[in-house]
Amino acid sequence: MNVAKLAIALVTVGLSVAGCAAETSQDETDGTATQDLAVSRLKGIWVSSNGPIFSIEFTSKNAQTLGGFVHGHEFTAHIDNGVRCITTPCPNVDVVTGVYKSNGGKLTLTSFDKPSLDFSRIIGDYTHALSNADGTLTIDKSDNTIHETLVHGVACGDNTCTDGLYCCNPLRGICAKRGVMCIQ
């Protein structure tokens, strides 16, 4: 008799666990669909007129952090490294690559592994809003240290063309206004 009660209890527990697993699987599927929609909307180059993020390119290439704690997609950003020179030009931009994840209005930026000090300043959670009317992306870091308004751009050699410009000479990185002849 005790064996029969034990068997019924095990079957009941087994069915309840299987039901929970099915619900979790559905939630993950919904999250993946939301993530895919966000990636398709964010994909491309976004440019800011000031720092600390000068430009950021969101790709659809799958990526994960070292150890696999964050799964998402790859991004590359040009960020302000804080270097200022008085007499000669010097590099004030670092190029960094990491993993981003977007779900609804939340955007998470993280590094593949241990980030530099400058890179660590932009890592974190952001709220973001994408405006189709004027093609701007607004991101606000959750600790209120970064607020950026970025415009969608087009890669053109070493430059990025924005605000009604097109890439007329990608070998030289020359952008021109629409309707204006390109200088070769």
Distance CA 151, CA 48 (A): 7
Residues 37-79: tens digit of each pLDDT: 678 888 888 988 777 998 899 999 999 999 889 999 999 999 9
In a domain, 82, yes or no: yes
Residues 74-113: tens digit of each pLDDT: 999 999 988 888 888 888 889 999 999 998 789 999 999 9
In a domain, 73, yes or no: yes
In a domain, 58, yes or no: yes
In a domain, 49, yes or no: yes
Q: What 8-state DSSP symbol labels residue 183?
A: P
Q: How many domains does the chain have?
A: 1
Label the pairing between strands 44-47 and 53-64.
Answer: antiparallel
In a domain, 19, yes or no: no
Distance CA 130, CA 42 (A): 8
3-state class of 103 per DSSP? strand
In a domain, 160, yes or no: yes
3-state class of 145 per DSSP? coil
What are the start-end ranges of the E strands in the chain? 44-47, 53-64, 71-80, 93-103, 106-111, 124-131, 136-141, 147-156, 159-161, 165-169, 174-177
Give the domain CATH number at 173: 2.40.128
Which structural domain range is residue 121 located in? 43-177
Given a cut of 60, whether residue 29 has pLDDT beyond it is: no
Q: What 8-state DSSP symbol labels residue 88?
A: S
- C-alpha distance from residue 130 to each of 39, 41, 64, 178 (Å): 12, 8, 24, 24
Do the beta carbons of residue 41 and residue 130 sit within 8 Å?
A: yes
- Run of H or E including 6: helix 2-42
In a domain, 135, yes or no: yes
Output the pLDDT for position 24.
31
Do the beta carbons of residue 142 and residue 126 sit within 8 Å?
A: yes
Do the beta carbons of residue 139 and residue 128 sit within 8 Å?
A: yes
In a domain, 32, yes or no: no
Given a cut of 70, whether residue 6 has pLDDT beyond it is: no
Residues 126-179: tens digit of each pLDDT: 999 888 766 788 999 999 999 998 888 888 888 888 777 888 888 888 888 877
Cross-strand pairs, 47: 55, 151
Output the pLDDT for position 15.
39
Q: pTM higher than 0.75 for the full model?
A: no
